[in-house]
Amino acid sequence: MPLTTSARPLTIRILALVGAVTGAFVLTSPGAARAAEQVACEQPPTTQAFAKYGDRADYAVAPGGTFEDGAPGWTLIGWAHIVNGNEPGGITSGSKSLRIGPGGVAISPEFCVDPANPHFRYMLRPIVSVGSLSTMLNVRSALTGNLGWLHYSTLNLRYLPLLWLPSSRNALGNVIPSVALGGKAVAVRLIFTAKDGIYDIDSVMVDPYRSR
């Protein structure tokens, strides 16, 4: 069954929790204002990380997206923690990944997104055969302030339990209105929540679009 991506509701409890956490970051993150005030982002070195899966776009690792060395900058709440074992696809190397279960929330460090960052993608392994993993973006702009979060949910029905596969290409800059219209950079946090089911996540990668 093909991968299906659609907006789905989350529980009020999870939304309240995410709102409280990201709201706190707005008040306390020292790098937040700098990231949101850049005109364009500095794009890090890239590789064609998902080429073996037929995706020849360039990708760079999201901050802490390998979940090695304690996943610096990530905030893990509830059933969300680092476990032993790296994704075996070789997108990135290492020995750790993120495990997230029902009600768990994992929030990335804030990073810069501009029109050259249309997508993000990651490696995913369901531990059980049913469930839904939601991804959200918390977005802040120097012009408009905190835009709140944009919500997406991916039902990973084509995934077999315990099998690592790449996620779909999740919308990033191309779904943030001010960025998609060619505006200035914004500051973004990726938010993963498991409504139910248990997932391992590793190698969270951002797509810096390059003209070839």
Contact residues toward Ca ion (CB under 5 A) are 66-67, 86, 94, 96, 202
Min dist CB 94 to Ca ion, Å, is 3
For Ca ion, give the closer residue by CB, 58 or 202: 202
For Ca ion, give the closer residue by CB, 121 or 140: 121
Q: How many C-beta atoms lie closer than 10 Å to residue 151's C-beta?
A: 17
Q: How many C-beta atoms lie closer than 10 Å to residue 207's C-beta?
A: 24
For Ca ion, give the closer residue by CB, 94 or 101: 94
Min dist CB 102 to Ca ion, Å, is 23
Taking CB atoms, the residue at the shortest distance from Ca ion is 94
For Ca ion, give the closer residue by CB, 107 or 205: 205
Min dist CB 28 to Ca ion, Å, is 27
Min dist CB 185 to Ca ion, Å, is 27
For Ca ion, give the closer residue by CB, 66 or 135: 66
Rg (CA), the chain: 16
HEC per residue, the chain: CCCEEECCCCCHHHHHHHHHHHHHHHHHCCCHHHHHHCCCCCCCCCECCCHHHCCCCCEEECCCCCCCCCCCCCEEECCEEEEECCCCCCCCCCCEEEEECECCEEECCCEEECCCCCEEEEEEEECCCCCEEEEEEEEEECCCEEEEEEEEEEECCCCCCCCCEECCCEECHHHCHHHHCCCCCEEEEEEEEEEECCEEEEEEEEECCCCC
For Ca ion, give the closer residue by CB, 91 or 187: 91
Min dist CB 85 to Ca ion, Å, is 8
Min dist CB 84 to Ca ion, Å, is 10
